[in-house]
Structure 1
Amino acid sequence: MPRHFSQLDDVWPAGFGRRLGAMVYDSFLLLAVWIAVTTLHVVVVRNLLELPAEEVGAGVMQVFTLRLLLVLAAFLFFAFFWRRGGMTLGMQAWRLRVQTADGAPINLRQTLIRFVVGAVALVPLGLGHWWVVFDGQRRSWSDIASGTQVVVLPKAGRQA
């Protein structure tokens, strides 16, 4: 039996401002993850492949593997938090949670769709994220594509 989140009657769709705040918080956390991944990549290239410093980052395969690792790290960052409790650390700070329409945690397929569509939604000047302002249900492109919703949780003092 799939688990469901609590407080389903006390939540409401998240607006653009809160989502943007969470994105800013999470971007700093993701940047730290990317710095760690890049550092590890450089250490591996320098020490295991024994390349001199001037050749680090010069090869096509080095660039490709680093970019692949950065995308994978970003996906794992979001997948871990979204699947674990429906919230990244930035979403926790802004009291946001991603869930299915019936209040269940999102599955791995929905996580992958949210991640890919969310990245694509940034390309046209973030239009896919601005879509929240125009959609009557306050959904972004990634919400629509994955069949999920981002909701605001009540303050701790207002929980019943």
Structure 2
Amino acid sequence: MQVDELEYVSFWARVGASLIDTILLGVIIWPILTALYGESYWSSQKMLQGPMDFIMSWLFPAVAVIIFWLTKQATPGKMAISAKVVDARTGQSLTTGQSIGRYLSYFLAGLPLGLGILWVAFDRRKQGWHDKLAGTVVVRQKNRHPEPVTFER
């Protein structure tokens, strides 16, 4: 795909993609955690309930997201909006190191009241701090519609 056929993906489109990913992960994780730890899991003040809590709440999402970035260049949410996460210099697929770094950088970007995530709304290339730290951008094809809308008269 030619560079002039691409656009950076906006903040709100990325928020929508994140919501899709969160819902999908929740549909998978929440029933498992409830089955393992019971309804009291959701009212507990403990950071971790046990080893499966760590695996399902922290390890599984990280591995799933990184595998999607490496194999599809996008999570299901980003696929739903036709977006891809690519190397900011070359436009190519992410390396394993970039993927891991980008994932871990989300935590840093979220720390100062989410400012690093909100940065996407103001940045020229629509990069959050996690993108800047990992050297990535989120792009999609311009004018993704196959034909313009027309009406018969």
Please indicate, yes or no, whether the TM-score normalized by the shorter chain is above 0.5: yes
What amino acid sits opposite 2:54 in the alignment?
A: L
Residue 25 of structure 2: aligned partner: 30
Q: Percent identity at matched positions? A: 27
- Aligned partners of 2:65 and 2:75 also within 8 Å: yes
Q: Provide the C-alpha distance between the structure 1 equivalents of 2:29 and 2:110, rounded to a whole number of angstroms.
A: 18
Per the TM alignment, residue 37 of structure 1 is displaced from its structure 2 partner at its CA by 4.6
Q: Please list the CA deviations of residues 13-55 of structure 1 after superposition, one character each: whole Å capped at 9, or x if unmatched.
A: 1110111010011100111232255257x28xxxxxxxxxx9x
Q: Provide the C-alpha distance between the structure 2 equivalents of 1:105 and 1:36, rounded to a whole number of angstroms.
A: 33
Q: 1:32-51 maps to which residues of 2 (within 5 A)?
A: 32-35=27-30, 37-38=32-33, 42=36
Per the TM alignment, residue 110 of structure 1 is displaced from its structure 2 partner at its CA by 0.9
Alignment coverage as a number of residue pairs:
141
What amino acid sits opposite 1:157 in the alignment?
A: P
Q: Provide the C-alpha distance between the structure 1 equivalents of 2:132 and 2:53, rounded to a whole number of angstroms.
A: 28
- Aligned partners of 2:33 and 2:53 also within 8 Å: no
Q: 1:81-120 maps to which residues of 2 (within 5 A)?
A: 81-101=68-88, 102-120=90-108
Structure with higher helix content: 1
What amino acid sits opposite 1:25 in the alignment?
A: I
Q: Provide the C-alpha distance between the structure 2 equivalents of 1:76 and 1:37, rounded to a whole number of angstroms.
A: 17
Runs of 4+ in structure 1 off by over 6 angstroms are none
In the alignment, structure 2 segments of 5+ residues that lack a partner are: 148-153
* TM-score, structure 1 normalization: 0.74
Residue 66 of structure 2: aligned partner: 79
- Aligned partners of 1:83 and 1:105 also within 8 Å: yes
In the alignment, structure 1 segments of 5+ residues that lack a partner are: 1-5, 44-53
- Aligned partners of 1:97 and 1:153 also within 8 Å: no
Q: Provide the C-alpha distance between the structure 1 equivalents of 2:8 and 2:20, rounded to a whole number of angstroms.
A: 20
Residue 150 of structure 2: aligned partner: none
Among 125, 143, 146, the residue aligned to 1:157 = 146
* TM-score, structure 2 normalization: 0.77
Q: Provide the C-alpha distance between the structure 1 equivalents of 2:134 and 2:31, rounded to a whole number of angstroms.
A: 30
Q: 1:102-141 maps to which residues of 2 (within 5 A)?
A: 102-141=90-129
Where 1:115 maps in the other structure, the secondary structure is helix
Per the TM alignment, residue 90 of structure 1 is displaced from its structure 2 partner at its CA by 0.7
Indicate the larger mover: 14-23 or 112-121: 112-121
Per the TM alignment, residue 156 of structure 1 is displaced from its structure 2 partner at its CA by 5.4
RMSD, aligned α-carbons: 2.9
Where 1:157 maps in the other structure, the secondary structure is coil
